[in-house]
């Protein structure tokens, strides 16, 4: 379900691209150090966004450096380390673990179950450090599974589960900024869930699988309706973001929120138009 919260690289300056990449490499390093090499497979730009957002909000003391890595041994890459990136690494592993268990419950995916078992020892330690987030992720994914099994037709119910899950991740601390972060995460989480479902709709419709967009798919204005729903959700997230006193990396964060996150939608739409060109 992840892979949607990306920067629009074409609109980033070279310095912004280096900074963005430093967060990516920093998160990869944190995963390897805290949870082992296997955990580095959980790396995603979605969680890079979270690391950058919370770093900008809380401004922790950071360490910068550069190094070569096994995947890119010919060139040194900048990296960034701080307590927020460590937190984001833990959340990446925790979310992946529960998502793999969810896939096992849904599809009896043996490979997913095996990967979950390998992550389990580190996940138990993370769950002890962050019981609130762990309980919320487990609860939201379980509730979402029940909604999908009952084929609930309410977009808000299904998407709301993932919005609540994202809110638990965004709320690093229970402090003054928690309501605003929850509002932002709620809109973005719903957007991610519904965009993922929009991308999967042709396949799900053909296979007879659950998809929250199915009750609307035959409407003549479906594409306009879908775009309107997604736009409203990201407008909610953007409005909440603008309330946060973030100065550091705000241009990169705005690039992601206002432009980058729509690149996947545009790609899906173009693919659909190629398959079914308008007459």
pLDDT tens-digit profile of 188-231? Answer: 999 999 999 999 999 999 999 999 999 999 999 999 999 999 99
Q: Over the range 92-110, which residues count as b (16 or more CB within 10 Å of their CB) and which as e?
A: bbbbbbbbbbbbbeeeebe
Please indicate, yes or no, if residue 119 is contained in any of the structural domains. Answer: yes
Q: Where are the alpha helices (DSSP H) in 41-82?
A: 45-58
C-alpha distances out from residue 278 to 206, 213, 216, 223, 274, Å:
21, 21, 19, 13, 9
CATH of the domain at 228: 1.10.600.10
What is the model's pLDDT at position 276? 67
What is the model's pLDDT at position 30? 96
How far is it, in rounded angstroms, from Cα 88 to Cα 81?
A: 11
Please indicate, yes or no, if residue 76 is contained in any of the structural domains. Answer: yes
What is the model's pLDDT at position 106? 65
pLDDT in tens, 150-180: 999 889 999 999 999 999 999 999 999 999 9
Please indicate, yes or no, if residue 138 is contained in any of the structural domains. Answer: yes
Residue 18 has pLDDT above 90, yes or no: yes
Mean pLDDT, residues 100-107 taken together: 73
φ/ψ (deg, to 5) at 245: -80, 60
Please indicate, yes or no, if residue 188 is contained in any of the structural domains. Answer: yes
Selection from 230, 264, 223, 212 nearest residue 2 by Cα: 264
Q: Which two tokens stand for residue 219?
A: 């409407």
Please indicate, yes or no, if residue 4 is contained in any of the structural domains. Answer: no
Contact 140, 165 (CB under 8 A): yes
Determine the structural domain holding residue 244 and report its residue range. Answer: 9-275
Query: Average pLDDT of the chain?
Result: 91
How far is it, in rounded angstroms, from Cα 1 to Cα 195?
A: 9
The partner residues of 64 in beta bridges, in order of sequence, read 80
Please indicate, yes or no, if residue 90 is contained in any of the structural domains. Answer: yes
What is the model's pLDDT at position 168? 96
What is the model's pLDDT at position 107? 67
Q: How many domains does the chain have?
A: 1
- Name the DSSP class of 276: S
Residue 279 has pLDDT above 60, yes or no: no
pLDDT in tens, 61-93: 999 999 888 777 778 889 999 999 999 999 999
Please indicate, yes or no, if residue 234 is contained in any of the structural domains. Answer: yes
Total count of residues recorded for the chain: 279
Higher-pLDDT residue of 65 and 109 is 65
Q: How confident is the model at residue 278 (pLDDT cuts 50, 70, 90)?
A: low
Please indicate, yes or no, if residue 1 is contained in any of the structural domains. Answer: no
């Amino acid at each position: 379900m992840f892979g949607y919260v990306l920067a629009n690289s074409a609109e980033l300056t070279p310095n912004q691209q280096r900074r963005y990449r430093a967060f990516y490499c920093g998160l990869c390093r944190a995963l390897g150090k805290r949870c082992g090499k296997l955990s580095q497979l959980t790396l995603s730009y979605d969680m890079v966004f979270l690391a950058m957002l919370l770093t900008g909000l809380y401004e922790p003391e950071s360490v910068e450096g550069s190094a070569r890595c096994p995947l890119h041994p010919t060139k040194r890459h900048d990296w960034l380390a701080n307590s927020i990136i460590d937190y984001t690494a833990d959340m990446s592993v925790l979310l992946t673990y529960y998502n793999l268990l969810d896939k096992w419950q849904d599809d009896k995916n043996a490979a997913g179950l095996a990967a979950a078992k390998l992550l389990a020892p580190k996940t138990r330690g993370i769950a002890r450090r962050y019981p609130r987030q762990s309980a919320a992720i487990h609860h939201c994914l379980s509730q979402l599974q029940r909604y999908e099994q009952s084929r609930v037709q309410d977009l808000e119910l299904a998407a709301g589960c993932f919005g609540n899950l994202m809110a638990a991740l965004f709320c690093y601390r229970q402090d003054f900024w928690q309501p605003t972060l929850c509002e932002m995460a709620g809109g973005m989480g719903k957007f991610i869930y519904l965009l993922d479902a929009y991308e999967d709709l042709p396949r799900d419709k053909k296979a007879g699988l659950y998809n929250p967009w199915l009750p609307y798919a035959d409407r003549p204005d479906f594409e306009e309706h879908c775009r309107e729903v997604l736009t409203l959700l990201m407008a909610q997230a953007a409005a909440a973001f603008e309330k946060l006193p973030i100065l550091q990396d705000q241009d990169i964060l705005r690039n992601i929120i206002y432009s980058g996150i729509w690149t996947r939608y545009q790609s899906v739409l173009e693919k659909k138009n190629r398959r079914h060109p308008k007459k």
